[in-house]
């Protein structure tokens, strides 16, 4: 096992490099806090530049000369599928680790762990379908064809809200393409990622193909700046994404960036209100609003605004907060104390600027967990369009409700942010639905549904919500490079310095 238990009851984890669990080179560690209890539960190494070097060296060796390098694509694909099977078998155990780290509901994390294998099955099936093509040149004696080849070592940096899921979203296409990976998980949630890395080798994936180095921000910086890391996949906030892109760009390394959103959920007056209400509710309060696609701006047609908002407020006040492991709990804690403080401060500033608090906005008293990082489901109205709350990602259970009168108005407002990750539209009018889907500047538009994702449907953002795509064929293309091969087939000597008559 990777972890051991210290005398004070904390679990002690190590890096996972070249198939082994290894301690940090300089002995520095950090603690992971259980957000439900507010108490530390595990200790992880704070990775140094030397630790990152070791992990990258292991990944590079596996890619260039190890068994992964010589493995055929069909066999590589079958190993990814076996990895999916191993994760499926360990879903309940890994889900419990996820809950302990970020406070999301156990039933949600189990459901997520049970669909994660679908990504490995899909990309495992694509591994032997990566093809080049023959270019039809006008020179019949020349054969020109392309090869699609892996990039090398891919650095994967993941956030704390869905750590294992987002790790697999990057690793599955990267590995199917023939690359190897070094993962730096969020310091808030490293345990589940370490566990699935160990399961990769249990499934037969060679040592060194999947490596995990834990640590704080400096560890990620070392990975991004490493000269032998061919590509970076980063999921996180805009400011961190800019730093990653700048550091990678300084050495001309490509990036896939998924940087969050400020997603509008738009309800027209002809919508099925029960469905729209459920979609708004799930879009912002599921996972405590700690999702990149959280529908944090609800635009509701003025003729139905008061009715829909009244129903949302009534339901929000009844949400059962508490132990995320308990089946009756509907919302757990915020993942970190810092994130809860951000939620509070953004709500407070919105109220100072004239917003109206309809419900929530406070730390609830949870008798069982007095030190947990809980925050009430919050709904605000009268939020100015140019305010911080309306323009910036909260990443918590905070909803701004805004009335509108017509399509042009709501399109202009919905698009007037730096983000463009997702949007929801609720209407029975088919023509309007397609007009809205075309007009909204978002990488995903859901019509009469919200917060859906599939392994074969591309996902990513417009504008500052990111660069590149997860999922589908587009994702695997981003972990490949194209080589053009030219072959002269005739025996005639091609000498441009010899004059011919």
Distance in angstroms (rounded) separating the CA atoms of residues 351 and 332? 25
For residue 274, indicate whether it is catalytic. no
- What is the per-residue DSSP string for 376-441? --EEEES--TTSHHHHS---SSEEEEEEE-SHHHHHHHHH-SS--SEEEEE-S-HHHHHHHHHHS-
Helices (H), 103-216: 106-126, 163-176, 191-202
Question: Are 349 and 357 within 8 A, CB to CB?
Answer: no
Distance in angstroms (rounded) separating the CA atoms of residues 400 and 150? 44
Alpha-carbon distance values, 4 to 48, 355, 483 (Å): 21, 50, 47
DSSP at 53: H
Nearest C-alpha neighbor of 335 from the set 165, 98, 157: 98
Which entry of 225, 258, 376, 393 is annotated as an active-site residue? 258
Nearest C-alpha neighbor of 297 from the set 307, 287, 283: 283
Distance in angstroms (rounded) separating the CA atoms of residues 292 and 187? 18
Q: 117 in helix, strand or coil?
A: helix
For residue 258, indicate whether it is catalytic. yes
Classify residue 246 by burial, with Cβ atoms within 10 Å: 0-12, 13-18, 19+.
Answer: exposed
Which entry of 255, 292, 359, 390 is annotated as an active-site residue? 292
Q: 253 in helix, strand or coil?
A: coil
Distance in angstroms (rounded) separating the CA atoms of residues 338 and 488? 63
- Return the CA Rg of the chain: 25
List active site positions.
258, 292
């Amino acid at each position: 096992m990777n972890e051991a238990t210290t005398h004070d009851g904390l679990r002690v984890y190590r890096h996972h490099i070249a198939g082994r669990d290894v301690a940090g080179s300089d002995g520095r560690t950090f603690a992971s806090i259980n957000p439900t209890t507010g108490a530390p539960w595990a200790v992880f190494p704070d990775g140094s530049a030397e630790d990152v070097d070791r992990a990258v060296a292991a990944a590079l060796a596996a890619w260039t000369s190890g068994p992964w390098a010589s493995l055929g694509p069909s066999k590589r694909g079958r190993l990814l599928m076996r990895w999916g099977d191993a994760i499926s078998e360990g879903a309940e155990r890994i889900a419990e680790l996820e809950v302990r780290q970020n406070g999301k509901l156990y039933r949600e994390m189990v459901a997520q762990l049970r669909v994660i294998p679908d990504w490995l099955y899909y990309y495992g099936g694509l591994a032997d379908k990566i093809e080049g093509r023959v270019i039809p040149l006008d020179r019949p004696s020349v054969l020109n064809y392309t090869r699609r080849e892996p990039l090398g070592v891919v650095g994967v940096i993941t956030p704390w809200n869905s750590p294992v899921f987002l790790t697999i979203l990057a690793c599955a296409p990267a590995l199917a393409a023939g690359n190897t990976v070094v993962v730096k998980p969020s310091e808030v949630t490293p345990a589940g990622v370490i566990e699935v890395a160990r399961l990769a080798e249990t499934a037969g994936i060679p040592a060194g193909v999947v490596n995990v180095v834990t640590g704080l921000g400096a560890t990620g910086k070392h990975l991004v700046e490493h000269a032998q890391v061919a590509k970076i996949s980063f999921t996180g906030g805009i400011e961190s994404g800019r730093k990653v892109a700048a550091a990678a760009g300084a050495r001309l390394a490509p990036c896939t960036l998924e940087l969050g959103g400020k997603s509008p959920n738009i309800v027209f007056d002809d919508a099925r209100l029960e469905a729209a209400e459920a979609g708004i509710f799930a879009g912002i309060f599921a996972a405590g609003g700690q999702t990149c696609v959280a529908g944090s701006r609800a635009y509701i047609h003025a003729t139905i605004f008061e009715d829909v908002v009244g129903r949302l407020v009534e339901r929000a006040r009844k949400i059962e907060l508490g132990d995320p492991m308990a089946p009756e709990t509907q919302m757990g804690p915020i993942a970190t104390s810092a994130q809860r403080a951000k939620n509070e401060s953004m709500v407070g500033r919105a109220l100072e600027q004239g917003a109206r608090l309809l419900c929530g906005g406070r730390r609830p008293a949870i008798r069982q967990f007095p030190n947990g990082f809980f925050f009430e489901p919050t709904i605000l109205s009268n939020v100015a369009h140019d305010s911080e709350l309306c323009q910036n990602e909260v990443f918590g259970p905070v909803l701004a409700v805004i009335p509108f009168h017509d399509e042009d108005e709501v399109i202009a407002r919905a698009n007037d942010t730096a983000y463009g990750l997702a949007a929801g539209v609720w209407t029975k009018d088919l023509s309007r639905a397609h007009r809205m889907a075309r007009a909204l500047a978002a990488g995903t538009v859901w019509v009469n549904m919200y917060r859906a994702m599939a392994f074969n449907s591309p996902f990513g953002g417009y504008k500052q919500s990111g660069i590149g795509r997860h999922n589908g064929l587009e994702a695997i293309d981003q972990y490949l490079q194209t080589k053009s091969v030219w072959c002269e087939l005739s025996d005639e000597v091609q000498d441009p310095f010899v004059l011919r008559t």
